[in-house]
Structure 1
Amino acid sequence: MKQWVTLMDGIDGFHIQEVPEPVDLKEDEVLVRINAVAVNHRDVKIINGDFKGRYAAPASPMVPTSDASGTIVKVGGPVSATKWQEGDRVLGLVRPTHLTGPTRSEHHALGLGFPQSGVLVEYRVFSASGLVQIPHKLSFEEAATLPIAATTAWMALNWNRPIDKPVRGPQTTVLLQGTGGVTIHALQQATAFGLTTIVTSSSDEKLLKAQELGATYTVNYKKIPDWADEVLKLTQGKGADIIVETGGPETMPQSVRAVAEGGIISAVGVLTGMTEDKPQPAVGLSLINRNAALKGINIGPRDRVEEMMRLYEQKEIHPIIDRVFGFDEARDAITYVKEGSHFGKVVIRVNED
């Protein structure tokens, strides 16, 4: 079978290799024929070596990417057979052992795409507990976008609420930064809950697409650099109850200004740079004065993924896919995501349905 591998040394070193198809399975494992893989900014950074100094480069080529959907083609034994059967449509959890509660170091250590081998392969072995059933109305390409982007969005909106009691109603205002995968999933989820939404972007074209998906308000931050003031204006001075903060160090000061009293800033991304590389704003006193919370969001456990899936099935939410690349075009897909012109998610089709 074919797989893409990297030494975390740049796009030129990212290449296909031939390896034997997995044969032996443990009793709690299943073999999945991968149909689709979604690309995340994390994958781009790993392949390009942007995490060197934080992550040790692999000694031998490793498979990157972490989000995949596919079909079970073989069940390992009695443990896996109690949960799955051949032909089941599934997606893989990024951290297969993270079943409930907060993310811990032991979950990180078993994460797909790094430090463990990823999913940009034709066939892969998964633990039976590290898979979730795909809603029947979702395509493989749509389902592949859910493990990181949609789950991160879900946790950004709902991390502080009991399971199956998500936030609802127009009285809650959500500020969504940009139009990448996490943001667009969060927009679709918030719209399904009937929340008031504000989307920021530097592109009027993308903001128009966000309106078509249900955005209540939009703000072009190139035209309105002090977008926090615009958020306060749109909310009659109240601010946003939830902010899905994707920018990082350069956007955080305005997020702190824009958050409502008692509100939450869910920090999910660092698109403006790693926080270790830039001086940090003094946000503590501002958060105290507004009685607001800053929460780091790092994907989520299986029980919250399953909770999210129920909404996608009930409301028939279809993830927004900007572009689908072929398996042999994986380099182009990585480059396309790095350029940042996409609206929604970018997917690589590995095998046809």
Structure 2
Amino acid sequence: MKQWTTLMDGIDNLKLETTPIPTELKEDEVLVRINCVSLNNRDLQLITGAFKNRYGSPENAIVPCSDASGTIVRIGGPAAGLLWKEGDRVFSLARPNHLTGPMYPEHAAAGIGIPLSGVLVQYRVFPAAGLVRTPNHMSDEEACTLTIAAITAWMALNWDQPINSPRRGKDVFVCLQGTGGVSIAALQQAHALGLTTIVTSSSDSKLEKARKLGADYVINYKTNPNWDEEVLRLTDGRGADIIVETGGPGTMGKSLRCVAHGGTISAVGILTGLMEEGAGKDQIAVGMRLIQRNASLKGINIGPRDRVEEMMKLVYEESSVCPVVDRIFGLADVKAALEHLQMGSHFGKIVIRVGDD
């Protein structure tokens, strides 16, 4: 089989290698033929060396990426056979041992793509419990986008609310920053739940696409840099009940200014960088804004298997929602796919069709 590997030394140094297909399986494992892989910003960070400070330089090359869909081709034993059979279509969990509740260090230590070997390979062994069934209406290209973006979006929208909560419907305003994988997944999910959505972007063409996916309001933050004031105007001064915060320090101040009283800022990304100039002196101001608005700032770090299954049932199966795929590349074109991700011009997810060729 073929696989891509990295030493965390840049896109240009990625290597396409040939290696034996795995043959040894434990009784609770399955062998999956990987059909499609989708890219995340963390894959790009890994490959370009941003994680070296956390994990160090690897002695041996590692296989990147965490998001995959495929077909089970072999069952390890009775334990795995209770969950799956050969021919089942599945997609991966980023942390196969995170089954319920909060994330703990042991879950992070089992992370696929980092620190463990990833999925940019034609066959891979998975724990049987670390896979989720692909819905019949969904293609492999669509299913491979669910692993991180979709569940992160689901947790950003629902982490503190029972699904049958009365706080539902058009009176709930959701502000979504940007049109990357998490934000578009959150837009589709919020629309399926009947929530009112506000999408921000610097591109009018992307905002038009967001409208077609159900966005109630759109804001171009390039032509309207005071987008927080526009959010307040659109909500009659109330603010957004949920803000899916993807920017980090560069956008947090505006999120704090337009979150509703009792609302939630779900921090899912740091696209504007790790630190804003002068951020240290602003910590008291951040705390005061949260207190004044009785709001919550919640860090979102993917989610457990039971919340994935909840999401699949309530959005992707009952509403037959399909994830948005921006562009599909072949296995030989992984470098071009990563460069496309790096440019930031995508709308939705970038997918690599792995196949058997």
Task: Please confirm whether the aligned pair reaches a TM-score higher than 0.5, indicating the same fold.
Answer: yes
With over 3 angstroms needed to count, the CA separation of the structure-2 counterparts of 1:84 and 1:346, relative to structure 1, is: same
| Matches of 1:95 and 1:165, distance apart in 2 | 28
Aligned counterpart, 2:265 = 265
Aligned counterpart, 1:245 = 245
Shift of 1:258: 0.7
| Matches of 1:275 and 1:31, distance apart in 2 | 42
| Matches of 2:110 and 2:336, distance apart in 1 | 28
Q: Note the 1:207-218 alignment, pairs <5 A.
A: 207-218=207-218
What is the letter of the counterpart of residue 24 of structure 1?
Answer: E
The normalised TM-score by structure 2 is 0.96
Q: Report the secondary structure of 1:322's partner residue.
A: strand
Shift of 1:327: 0.7
| Matches of 1:60 and 1:278, distance apart in 2 | 39
Residues 122 and 356, structure 2, Cα contact 8 Å, conserved in 1: no
Q: Note the 1:269-308 alignment, pairs <5 A.
A: 269-275=269-275, 279-280=279-280, 281-282=282-283, 283-308=286-311
Runs ≥4 residues deviating over 6 A: none
Aligned counterpart, 1:20 = 20
Gap runs ≥5 in structure 1: none
Gap runs ≥5 in structure 2: none
Question: What is the number of residues matched between the two proteins?
Answer: 353
Q: Report the secondary structure of 2:54's partner residue.
A: coil
Residues 249 and 276, structure 2, Cα contact 8 Å, conserved in 1: no
Identity across matched positions, percent: 62
Aligned counterpart, 1:89 = 89
> Which of 322, 326, 329 is the equivalent residue of 1:322?
326
Post-superposition CA distance 1:125-155 (Å, at most 9, x none): 0001101101110000100000100000000
Aligned counterpart, 1:51 = 51
Shift of 1:165: 5.5
Residues 47 and 64, structure 2, Cα contact 8 Å, conserved in 1: yes
| Matches of 1:49 and 1:126, distance apart in 2 | 26
| Matches of 1:347 and 1:166, distance apart in 2 | 37
What is the letter of the counterpart of residue 231 of structure 2?
Answer: V
Over aligned residues, Cα RMSD in angstroms? 1.5
| Matches of 1:32 and 1:166, distance apart in 2 | 41
What is the letter of the counterpart of residue 302 of structure 1?
Answer: R
Aligned counterpart, 1:168 = 168
With over 3 angstroms needed to count, the CA separation of the structure-2 counterparts of 1:278 and 1:62, relative to structure 1, is: farther
Residues 268 and 299, structure 2, Cα contact 8 Å, conserved in 1: yes
Q: Note the 1:1-353 alignment, pairs <5 A.
A: 1-162=1-162, 168-275=168-275, 279-280=279-280, 281-282=282-283, 283-310=286-313, 311-351=315-355
| Matches of 1:122 and 1:263, distance apart in 2 | 44
Shift of 1:223: 0.7
The normalised TM-score by structure 1 is 0.97
What is the letter of the counterpart of residue 97 of structure 2?
Answer: T
Q: Report the secondary structure of 2:297's partner residue.
A: strand
| Matches of 1:313 and 1:332, distance apart in 2 | 33
| Matches of 2:105 and 2:170, distance apart in 1 | 37
Q: Report the secondary structure of 1:256's partner residue.
A: helix
Residues 333 and 348, structure 1, Cα contact 8 Å, conserved in 2: yes
| Matches of 1:31 and 1:198, distance apart in 2 | 42
